[in-house]
Structure 1
Amino acid sequence: MAGGLFAVNRKWFWELGGYDPGLEIWGGEQYEISFKNLKRVAETWMDEYAEYIYQRRPEYRHLSTGDISSQKELRKHLKCKDFKWYMTEVAWDVPKYYPPVEPPPASWGEIRNVASNLCIDSKHGATGTELRLDTCVKDGSERTWSHEQLFTFGWREDIRPGEPLHTRKFCFDSISNNSPVTLYDCHGMKGNQQWSYRRDKTLFHPVSNSCIDCNPAEKKLFMNRCDPLSETQQWIFEHINMTILQKFNIYNNS
């Protein structure tokens, strides 16, 4: 939680050691008092789990922590249990929702429509942006910031703009049959943001029991009653991990 909103008994706050005086710039105090995540506090508190940080942020590995001997002495004085105990006994369900190592995606890259040979494009939009079709960048469309055609269908069963390790925090979202397909802030709770990429190449939306369709002439995307014979509802991901995709489909009985 944000450090400025943290409330704690003053006596207990100082007994815990207060803020680490070695955190010399703004930011990080919320981790120091709650989860303890940046390199200085990771090296003090997280034991072998600090390696997960370096795997995601390799640039942190060679940064200097400064002198943390007083912080390590504080941990010893407080008789703190190790971080593995915390992850096992207190935060045992965290890896389910926030895995320390990002699981591989089911599919990623451009999403090309079979009927039109056009690609889904999010135009680097934010919340509320309607997804559209456009000439695929790989087919010669001008490579400018006006196009965003790389997407990742990841382990949360949502679709996000960006490559697997660098996705934006917006997800494909739709409400009901006939509604447009938009970007919305990812919430990780499935619902309107859960998708299934099926063997018939349709992008199925369980909540509305419908599939992504398109009007190539108007370059519009919308939800429609699923018709596996309709090529306007057939989509081809550039890359597919069939093993992961099959697990998704078996789980969703599709």
Structure 2
Amino acid sequence: MDREIPDTRLGTCNSVVWPREGLPTTSVIITFHNELRSTLLRTIISVIRRTPSNILKEIVLVDDASIKLILNRKREGLIRARIRAAMIATGDTFTFLDSHVEVNQDWIQPLMQRIKENPRMVVAPIIDVINKDNFQYIGADAFLTGGVSWAMVFRWDWLSRHEMETMDHTVGLKSPTIAGGLFSVGKAWFHELGEYDDQMDIWGGENIEFSFRVWQCGGEMEIMPCSRVGHVFRDDHPYDFGKKGSNHVFVKNNNRFVHTWMDEYSTFYYGTRPNARSILPGDLSVRRHFKEKLQCKGFDWYVKNVYPRQHMPERNSIAWGHAKRGEHCLTVFPLKNPQPGIYGKLGGGNCNQGINNPSFQDMDKQSLVLKKDTGLFQQPTKVLHDGKEVYENKCFGSIDEPPKDGSKIVLADCVDENDHQRWVYHSVNLKLDAYQDLCLDAFQMGNFRLKKCANKDSQQFLFEMLNI
């Protein structure tokens, strides 16, 4: 339990002499439920060993009904357990940690230094990986910031290639969202913001809600690359979501902050989860009180100023976003023999989200749109206008006119006489509107074609978002 771990910091982090005096104190808050005692002790020991004693005010443990120890008499969940701990913690700042982590060398100083510089800054470490089977400590990439999908699922966004090449690891990375388990925040700022939403249940969505609230209400968020904390990523979690199940809890939690913070952009969330409208968010008056009291900005400001890299759905669409056939995303591949006005052929490939596609434009090249008014099935394509590269929608259609069984599907310039480019989305099938016996078929994964419509998997496609 008391062991040495590798220093995984990059750049000049390990040569920086971080101050130990004059920094805010912190209360490290750890909530746990049915955690292995050895794992919990490893977390506590690493905090004690690697945190300067003048910064570490206390460790507050919250046993959420599973041992200063706070004991919940009934299961409250992570959200309300953290609120309870924050009410009794006495440090200048709160540092929330999961109960299955190990902190690394000089982990706390970059976080406290940044909060000292800006008391409304919320900061998070880079999250390294601890193997769940053998507890090997593995350094994580430093080239990521927190993001969120329109389904309100947290994700990691890669920096651009230029940002990677010019990155100063001693400087914080502006992050539109943070992962929920590990972060530091000033005590006064946390309470002024309204802590967590205590009407959210158990776990799920609280980090996205908190991220929106921080940014929209006058705060900022950064990931500090010189701060590293290892985390055990388990196959499942210990939470009991009750009779209604985890999906009901997740959707209710999401609906609460979607209704509070997202304004007219909420339609994009419901486009990804149409059935979520049936689950009521509950009373939002307290959350809206904080929004009014703090004179928080709208979500339009957030997407334009904090998260401009978020790919924006096109309204008046039957379908938008990534389209999937099984585990593969619809992707455009180059033609062996390029032709004027044709930009590639349609097929299925790995969904772009990774180090080999670090530009957000490249990540979103698999975003498609089926327009409601025209029936055009389109994708943004990079073209030259006045010597500058811009994105312009091009159209998917049959390479043959008229289309026939076996016709290849290509991305081409949209044309006026376009029966071969007008589509309908029926249930899970994509058909040409004027040739509804012909369906898009993925029987060859790298080379989609039109085939006679039949009840088979290769003709079933699911979109990220519907009817927006």
TM-score (norm 1): 0.46
- 1 or 2 for the larger relative contact order (CA 8 Å, sep ≥6)? 1
Q: Which has the higher strand share?
A: 2
TM-score (norm 2): 0.26
